[in-house]
Amino acid sequence: MSKSITTIICILSIVHFVSAQKKVSNEWLISDLTENVFHLSEVMLHDVASPPAAGRFYAYSLLGAYEVVAESNNTFPDISQQFHNKLKFTLPSKPADLYLPFCANYAMLEVGRNIMPSGFQLEAKQKELIAKYQKKLKLSQTQINSNKTYAEAVAMQVLAYAKSDGYNKLSTYKRYTPNKEEGHWYPTPPEYMAPVEPYWPTVRSFFTDSSKHYFNPARPASFSKDPQSSFYALMKEVYDVTKTMTPEQKQIAAFWDCNPFAVSYSGHMAIGLKKISPGGHWMGITGIVCKQKQVPVDSAILIHTMVALTLHDAFICCWKEKYTSDRIRPETAINKYIDPAWRPMLQTPPFPEYTSGHSVVSAASAEILSYFIGDSFRFTDTSEEYFGLPPRNFTSFRHASSEAGISRLYGGIHFRDSIEEGQKQGSKIGKFVLSKLVQ
Contact 407, 241 (CB under 8 A): no
Q: What are phi and psi of 420, to 5 degrees?
A: -65, -45
- Average pLDDT in the 62-74 region? 93
- pLDDT higher than threshold 80 for residue 13: no
Q: Is the pTM of this model over 0.85?
A: yes
Which range in 202-211, 272-281, 358-367 is most confidently predicted, on average pLDDT?
358-367
- pLDDT higher than threshold 80 for residue 213: no
Percentage of the chain exceeding pLDDT 70:
92
pLDDT band at 266 (very low <50, low <70, confident <90, very high): very low
- Which residue type, as a one-letter code, is found at position 282? W
Rounded-to-integer distance, Cα 297 and Cα 194, Å:
41
- pLDDT higher than threshold 90 for residue 90: no
Kindly list the distances between the CA atom of residue 119 and the CA atoms of 41, 123, 309, in Å, as whole numbers in the listed order. Answer: 11, 8, 20
Digit-coded pLDDT (tens) for 217-231: 999 999 999 999 999
Kindly list the distances between the CA atom of residue 351 and the CA atoms of 118, 211, 234, 254, in Å, as whole numbers in the listed order. Answer: 24, 21, 19, 20
Digit-coded pLDDT (tens) for 18-35: 334 446 899 999 999 999
Digit-coded pLDDT (tens) for 398-410: 999 999 999 999 9
At residue 349, the pLDDT reads 95
Percentage of the chain exceeding pLDDT 90:
80
At residue 282, the pLDDT reads 98
Q: Please count the residues of the chain.
A: 439
Digit-coded pLDDT (tens) for 181-192: 999 999 998 889
Mean pLDDT of the chain: 91
Rounded-to-integer distance, Cα 13 and Cα 297, Å:
8
CATH 3.40.50.300 fits 3-168, yes or no: no
Digit-coded pLDDT (tens) for 313-333: 999 999 999 999 999 999 999
Domain regions of the chain by residue span: 3-168, 227-438
Contact 340, 206 (CB under 8 A): no
SS3 sequence, the chain?
A: CCHHHHHHHHHHHHHHHHHHCCCCCHHHHHHHHHHHHHHHHHHHHHHCCCHHHHHHHHHHHHHHHHHHHHHHCCCCCCHHHHCCCCCCCCCCCCCCCCCHHHHHHHHHHHHHHHHCCCHHHHHHHHHHHHHHHHHHHCCCHHHHHHHHHHHHHHHHHHHHHHHCCCHHHHHHCCCCCCCCCCCECCCCCCCCCCCCCCCHHHCCCCCCCCCCCCCCCCCCCCCCCCCCCHHHHHHHHHHHHHHCCCHHHHHHHHHCCCCCCCEEEECCEEEECCCCCHHHHHHHHHHHHHHHHCCCHHHHHHHHHHHHHHHHHHHHHHHHHHHHHCECCHHHHHHHHCCCCCCCCCCCCCCCCCCCHHHHHHHHHHHHHHHHHCCCCCEEECCCHHHCCCCEEECCHHHHHHHHHHHHHHCCCCCHHHHHHHHHHHHHHHHHHHHHHHC
Kindly list the distances between the CA atom of residue 284 and the CA atoms of 46, 219, 280, 425, in Å, as whole numbers in the listed order. Answer: 17, 32, 6, 22
- pLDDT higher than threshold 90 for residue 179: yes
Rounded-to-integer distance, Cα 226 and Cα 438, Å:
49
pLDDT band at 264 (very low <50, low <70, confident <90, very high): low
CB contact burial 5-23 (16+ within 10 A = b; e otherwise): ebeebbebbeebbeeebee
pLDDT band at 91 (very low <50, low <70, confident <90, very high): confident
At residue 24, the pLDDT reads 80
pLDDT band at 268 (very low <50, low <70, confident <90, very high): very low
- pLDDT higher than threshold 60 for residue 17: no
Name the CATH code of domain 227-438 (choices 3.40.1410.10, 3.40.640.10, 3.40.50.720, 1.10.606.20): 1.10.606.20
CB contact burial 358-388 (16+ within 10 A = b; e otherwise): bbbbbbbbbbbbbbbbeeebebebebbeeee
227-438 matches 3-168 in CATH topology: yes
Rounded-to-integer distance, Cα 236 and Cα 231, Å:
9
Kindly list the distances between the CA atom of residue 79 and the CA atoms of 306, 368, 373, 409, in Å, as whole numbers in the listed order. Answer: 9, 14, 19, 36
Rounded-to-integer distance, Cα 386 and Cα 217, Å:
34
